[in-house]
Amino acid sequence: MERIAQLARTSGDLRRKIWASLPLRLRFADFCTRLAVTTIDSFGSGMYSVFTDRGVADVPDPRGSLAKAFGKRAYMMLMSKFHDLQFVEDVMLNFLVRFLESGSRHLKPDMSLRDSENYVLRSLTNEALNAKRKKREVSDTYTSEGDEKRHELPIFDEDTAERQLKRMLPRIKSKLEAIHPDAPLYLKLSILDGYSDREILGDVEHGGSSLLTHPYGKQGKPLNEKVWNGVYKPQIFAVLKNNFGDAQRV
């Protein structure tokens, strides 16, 4: 067993050394891609968590298969209407973060799960339609005849990506800490140092250690990967997406 543990440690050290040798822009892109992959599952578990908090009747485990199935249902519904993967993921993520932050006054105690799901799907569709309309209006502004130069879209300069990213992270520290006190540390360990989520979170729930200084959720319960992926990662991803564009213009 000790031999297996030693091999695991050596493998982890080698992986992190290789990770550290990659350009920072590639590490950042890979990190954001891994965050985006969790959008569908996170949407379902996040919505079911809100349902539970608002007292909706008979809500299954937010980390279970029914919650994931609801996330997939919402995703397939939007894809059938808009046929744009990136747009759909952005809408779902923004909608999820807003609900996690404030819930909804329309979700009442003892409201049925079916009615709650249908309400979310209707609201999600309306949000997507509004986002599509705004996107079209912005596109029209950028392509107005004789106005292209003044409204030129910012071009990402790969040569200065590392400088821009390092400048951005301190600026969003307070936003990240509002999500979780260790969110900035999580980004450093994940993007810069190459630690996996499992290595970062550890297994505090069963008496193990964690690389985080505060490995607990909002209710004081030990964090695990499911909770981190379902509640905190989507909010971290939203902050990065909303602020990285500003960093490109610095």
pLDDT digits (tens, 9 = 90+) for 150-205: 434 333 344 445 565 667 778 888 999 999 999 999 988 888 788 888 889 988 88
234 token code pair? 């989507």
Nearest alpha-carbon partner for 117 in 72, 63, 80: 72
Nearest alpha-carbon partner for 29 in 186, 131, 158, 146: 158
pLDDT for 8 equals 47
Q: Extract the residue ranges of the chain whose pLDDT is less than 70.
A: 1-12, 19-21, 23-26, 28-30, 32-38, 101-103, 138-166, 244-250
DSSP 8-state code for residue 154? P
Radius of gyration of the chain (CA): 20
Nearest alpha-carbon partner for 96 in 135, 169, 40, 157: 40
Please report where in the chains the tokens 């193990």 appear, as a residue: 208
CA distance 128 to 107: 20
Q: Give me the sign of the Cα torsion angle 215, 220, 225, 227.
A: negative
pLDDT for 128 equals 93
